[in-house]
Amino acid sequence: KELSLLMLPGDGIGPEIMIEARRVIDWLAENRSLKITVHEDMVGGAAYDAYGKPLSDEALALAKQVDAVLLGAVGGPKWDGVDYDKRPEAGLLTLRKELDLFANLRPAVCFEALVDASSLKPELVSGLDIMIVRELTGGVYFGEPRGIETLENGERRGINTQVYTTSEIHRIAHVAFDLAGKRDGRVTSSEKANVMESGLLWREEVIKVAESYPDITLDHMLADSCAMQLVRAPKQFDVIVTDNLFGDLLSDVAAMLTGSLGMLPSASLGAKGGGALYEPVHGSAPDIAGQGIANPIATILSLAMALRYTYERPEEAQLIEDAVQGVLAGGLRTADIMQPGKAKVSTSVMGDSILRQ
């Protein structure tokens, strides 16, 4: 089957890191008979400058049509004064909404060569491989009623509502259990069932979904306790499934277990056969844009996730991940992950080295 990908490099370092991902795709096409049509368009500030909005209708239509989107990053000080709904970030939010990307996958993997870069003791993170599955389109960030109102006594009140329906819980739980089946077979579901009705429903419904996965072990952990355990003993986890708000926090905690932002990939997935967006966790890094020193690894690892989860080419995904591991073990570092005694290299030399490996 002919595969398709839409590349949206975006702003800041986006184009620089995307070039390196493109070279990996070209290498796979040549050496691993990967048949893939690559489209390219603009998103974020780049699209705003060209079309007056952060995602053109054509780019959105293409995003819906292709198997997967690979995005660099959006935003930067240049667009600070732009109207809220035309800001670079709005391009990304439109993509997430229009493709109904309800499942955000954030792996936290500790590359052996970078064990020392973690904020934790090496023995706590050596061999770490966690997957956080965050619900992305529901919960308190979107629930109604919401808003700021003025009360009769002159006080103001800000309101957000945490809402989850059974179908929203079921579909994210299925993503987590399916993933666990391809990993260590363990799911930890995290909420605050002790103080929140939506959390109680979450727990009850996850238990129901678990019945169709007899080979997966399910346990439950209150979200505050989960944050603590992530820092105390992170290797106890395989897959963590949680709501939008707790997932936002827990995935950022997990990210810092592994060292640098420049190393972290992510995926946002819709229903099976639906949309898929892969992107590094980091932003457009305007402070280093144009200098050729950005770390392309998060983007290259995002491509590896696309190969694993959308294109069903796990061997090629593994090849990429092993190459990254090998290059790091060989002592090459971009500036953001530089360590004493290692060789500092540019974006393109890091890309070259991964290809060679």
Residues of this chain that bind ligand NAI (CB under 6 A)? 13, 17, 73-76, 89, 92, 261-262, 279, 282-288, 294-295, 298, 336
Smallest distance from ligand NAI to CB 17, Å = 6
- Residue 296 in marked binding region: no
- Cβ atoms of 327 and 353 within 8 Å: the answer is yes
Closest among 44, 74, 89, 201 to 135, alpha carbons compared: 201
- Residue 261 interacting entry, from ligand NAI, Mg ion, none, C-beta within 5 to 8 Å by type: ligand NAI
- Residue 49 in marked binding region: no
Closest among 37, 87, 86, 93 to 60, alpha carbons compared: 93
- 192 noted as active-site residue: yes
* Contact partners, residue 128, CB within 8 Å, separation at least 6: 108, 109, 110, 234, 235, 257, 258
Residue numbers 252-311 binding Mg ion by CB under 5 A: 252
Q: Identify the active-site residue in 64, 141, 178, 235.
A: 141
- 224 noted as active-site residue: yes
Q: Record the tokens describing residue 43, joined without a space.
A: 């998103």
* Contact partners, residue 24, CB within 8 Å, separation at least 6: 300, 303, 320, 351, 354, 355
- 100 noted as active-site residue: no
Smallest distance from ligand NAI to CB 44, Å = 7
Region from 32-40, 61-69, 83-91, 242-250 binding Mg ion, contact rule CB under 5 A: 242-250
What is the spatial distance between Cα 64 and Cα 346, in angstroms, rounded to a whole number?
Answer: 34
Smallest distance from Mg ion to CB 236, Å = 23
- Residue 218 interacting entry, from ligand NAI, Mg ion, none, C-beta within 5 to 8 Å by type: none
Q: Please, is 184 exposed, middle or buried when counting C-beta atoms within 10 Å of its C-beta (0-12, 13-18, 19+)?
A: middle
Smallest distance from ligand NAI to CB 336, Å = 4
What is the spatial distance between Cα 354 and Cα 346, in angstroms, rounded to a whole number?
Answer: 12
- Residue 248 interacting entry, from ligand NAI, Mg ion, none, C-beta within 5 to 8 Å by type: Mg ion
- Residue 291 in marked binding region: yes
- 248 noted as active-site residue: yes
When the beta carbons of 75 and 199 are compared against ligand NAI, the nearer one is: 75
When the beta carbons of 262 and 351 are compared against ligand NAI, the nearer one is: 262
- Residue 83 in marked binding region: yes
| Torsion sign over Cα 113, 118, 121, 126 | negative
Smallest distance from Mg ion to CB 249, Å = 7
- Residue 326 interacting entry, from Mg ion, ligand NAI, none, C-beta within 5 to 8 Å by type: none
- Residue 87 in marked binding region: yes
Q: Identify the active-site residue in 116, 252, 322, 344.
A: 252
DSSP state letter for 282 = S
- Residue 127 in marked binding region: no
Smallest distance from ligand NAI to CB 248, Å = 12
When the beta carbons of 49 and 248 are compared against Mg ion, the nearer one is: 248
Q: What are phi and psi of 218, to 5 degrees?
A: -115, 135
- Residue 85 in marked binding region: yes
Q: Which of 201, 248, 342, 352 binds Mg ion (CB under 5 A)?
A: 248
% helix, strand, coil for the chain, step of 5:
45, 20, 35
DSSP state letter for 277 = E
Q: What are phi and psi of 194, to 5 degrees?
A: -75, -25
Q: Record the tokens describing residue 93, joined without a space.
A: 């939010």
DSSP state letter for 139 = G
When the beta carbons of 91 and 234 are compared against ligand NAI, the nearer one is: 91
The set of catalytic residues is 141, 192, 224, 248, 252
| Residue ranges in contact with Mg ion by CB under 5 A | 248, 252
